[in-house]
Amino acid sequence: MPHLNLESFKPLTFPAQCGDVEFLFQADYKNQSGGALIATRYKGREFFLVHKKTENKELLKSDKVTRPSPNFLVKHALLAYAECSGSRILDSNVDNAPENTHLKTHDALKSIPFFVENFPRGREVRIEIGFGSARHLLHQAAANPEVLFIGLEIHKPSIEQALKQIVIQKLSNIMVLDYDARLFLEFVPSNIVGKIYVHFPVPWDKKPHRRVISEAFLKESDRVLSVGGTLELRTDSENYYRFALETFSSPAKSRFDVRKNQEIAIVSKYEDRWKKMEKNIYDVTFTCEDESPEPDIIGDFSFSSDPIDFSVIDRIKKETYKREWGFLHVERTFSIGEDGSMLRLSMGSFDRPESTYVIIQNATARYYPTTPVPSSANLKAHILLNELIHG
Ligand SMILES: C[S@@+](CC[C@H](N)C(=O)[O-])C[C@H]1O[C@@H](n2cnc3c(N)ncnc32)[C@H](O)[C@@H]1O
């Protein structure tokens, strides 16, 4: 994480323009001496820098929740703050290198708002979940140039490896996303997916609730698949295979096929390993038979316009509200000037909690710098927050 160790931290008068970086306001930690978040705008992105004072250190660093990518944005903002405020740098891990334009070649890497705002339409979509070494994803994309492939992975080195190969093989029909597959399908329109591949998922024998396949996942797969589209599980785990059979059999009308040791065109790294060990490999393929309606959207992230009583903020701080859809947790409170407050929240699904900030100023509330991803769990957490802060 980029950071500067300062001789002393010198405050700015806000708003401040420091070259091409703007510093907008400061939010001070409540109930803790020495610490603040500094709202920063650079190249159209807003994020916080964090000032932390410890016994013998004055640190200026990036904020985990709002940290923009690439890292260059934070590094440049850190140096701009130090220079503009006249804070002397004792040491740092921040170089003065110019922006690495090479990173821009990774057009294939997308973030969840890309899909939320404007899901790509107009051609068949296939989704591969947990693509690992990406052998299968790359092979399929090369063999089916008219199809758009979306690869989901939560292991960053696998993502980087796939991105390199996409550039080397000049493939323009793959989008890669670092997101939990169990939550992604919520953002996919109905009836547009031809295939969902789940090849050699982690078996999670001791924590089956973490498995990608579940009743809820099957239901969402059925919704996003076009008629005749398939959800394909391939696994070496007999436990997972049996679990999938049970899950796929539970909707009364469900149609699925089972195969054992079926050869496919491309063998993944995992499959290679299991084959050498002479393990059985199972395919369970679910086929979608009916069209589905578009999902209902259950609201937005606006707050009620009723004035907020400030004493409520202190009452709700640092509590965790657990519900069957997920949770809402107020992690920390901040003050902004004389009459503003800010909350850092963790919210939404237990599988992929989201952290965000809410500013309460002039008796109204707003998320900062952006609203959360509109997953159903986040929207429900928002409804709860709105009720709490309005007493
Ligand atoms: C056992 S590996 C299999 C990789 C690849 N499919 C293959 O056949 O070689 C499982 C992969 O799924 C990824 N994964 C696990 N849970 C996931 C989730 N919830 N969403 C997306 N990817 C996930 C892991 O990071 C890992 O790379």
Which conformational region is residue 213 in: left (phi greater than 0), alpha (psi within -120 to 50 degrees), or beta? beta
d(CA 230, CA 222) in angstroms, rounded, equals 9
- Please tell me the predicted confidence (pLDDT) of residue 238: 94
- Dihedral sign of CA atoms 152, 295, 349, 306 in order: positive
Q: Ligand 1 centroid vs 330 CA: distance in angstroms? A: 31
Q: Ligand 1 centroid vs 241 CA: distance in angstroms? A: 16
6 lines ligand 1 (CB under 6 A): no
What's the CA dihedral at 269, 271, 272, 273 to 10 degrees? 90
Q: Ligand 1 centroid vs 201 CA: distance in angstroms? A: 5
- Among all chains, which residue has been given the structure tokens 């589209």? 229
Q: Ligand 1 centroid vs 134 CA: distance in angstroms? A: 10
235 lines ligand 1 (CB under 6 A): no
158 lines ligand 1 (CB under 6 A): yes
Q: How far is CA 344 from CA 46, 317, 359, in A?
A: 16, 10, 9
Residue with CA nearest ligand 1 atom 10: 201
- Please tell me the predicted confidence (pLDDT) of residue 319: 77
Beta strands 109-110 and 174-178 are parallel
151 lines ligand 1 (CB under 6 A): no
Which residue of 137, 178, 209, 212 sits with most ligand 1 atoms within 8 Å of its CB, as the best mutation to test the pocket?
A: 212
User: What ranges do the domains of the chain cover?
Assistant: 3-96, 108-287, 311-389
153 lines ligand 1 (CB under 6 A): yes
CATH architecture of 108-287: 3-Layer(aba) Sandwich (3.40)
Q: Give the count of alpha carbons within 13 A of 282, CB side only.
A: 16
Which residue of 129, 234, 275, 351 sits with most ligand 1 atoms within 8 Å of its CB, as the best mutation to test the pocket?
A: 129
Which residue of 202, 221, 271, 349 sits with most ligand 1 atoms within 8 Å of its CB, as the best mutation to test the pocket?
A: 202
Q: In the chain, how long is the greatest CA-to-CA distance?
A: 70
Residue length of the chain: 391
d(CA 243, CA 52) in angstroms, rounded, equals 49
180 lines ligand 1 (CB under 6 A): yes
129 lines ligand 1 (CB under 6 A): yes
Which residue of 131, 281, 349 sits with most ligand 1 atoms within 8 Å of its CB, as the best mutation to test the pocket?
A: 131
- Among all chains, which residue has been given the structure tokens 């009723």? 306
Nearest residue to 99 (alpha-carbon basis) of 178, 173, 20? 20
Q: Ligand 1 centroid vs 271 CA: distance in angstroms? A: 13
d(CA 38, CA 23) in angstroms, rounded, equals 7
Q: Ligand 1 centroid vs 180 CA: distance in angstroms? A: 10
Residue with CA nearest ligand 1 atom 19: 180
Q: How far is CA 321 from CA 350, 353, 358, 383, 385, in A?
A: 12, 13, 17, 12, 10
pLDDT, one tens digit for every residue, the chain (391 residues): 889 999 999 999 999 999 999 999 999 998 766 789 999 999 999 999 999 988 778 999 999 999 987 788 999 999 999 999 999 999 998 877 666 554 455 789 999 999 998 999 999 999 999 999 999 999 999 999 999 999 999 998 999 999 999 999 999 999 999 999 988 999 999 999 999 999 999 999 999 888 999 998 999 999 999 999 999 999 999 999 999 999 998 866 678 899 999 998 888 888 888 888 888 999 999 999 999 999 877 789 999 988 887 777 777 767 789 999 999 999 988 999 988 999 999 999 988 789 999 999 988 899 999 999 999 999 999 999 999 988 7
Whether the upstream peptide bond of residue 293 has omega within 30° of 0, thus cis, is no
176 lines ligand 1 (CB under 6 A): no
d(CA 360, CA 366) in angstroms, rounded, equals 7
179 lines ligand 1 (CB under 6 A): no
- Please tell me the predicted confidence (pLDDT) of residue 57: 85
